[in-house]
Amino acid sequence: MSRIPTKDCPICGKPASEAARPFCSTRCANVDLNRWLGGDYVLPGTEPADPEEIVEHIEQITKH
């Protein structure tokens, strides 16, 4: 039984997870979603910065 090959997360480059494909996590999925919704995802008070920072920000918003 072969697994479906997973692509790397387009946001951070980590291996995608089955739960959040094609992303590695829901955090990266949210990053991508925000990019689409807002074009440029600019955080108030921060520079438009790199995905890592965006992920951290979303993690704070969506922390469980």
Contact between 9 and Zn ion by CB under 5 A: the answer reads yes
Contact between 29 and Zn ion by CB under 5 A: the answer reads no
Contact between 28 and Zn ion by CB under 5 A: the answer reads yes
Contact between 24 and Zn ion by CB under 5 A: the answer reads yes
42 is in an annotated binding site: no
34/52 Cα distance (integer angstroms)? 14
55 is in an annotated binding site: no
Q: Give residues in contact with Zn ion (CB under 5 A).
A: 9, 11-12, 14, 24, 28
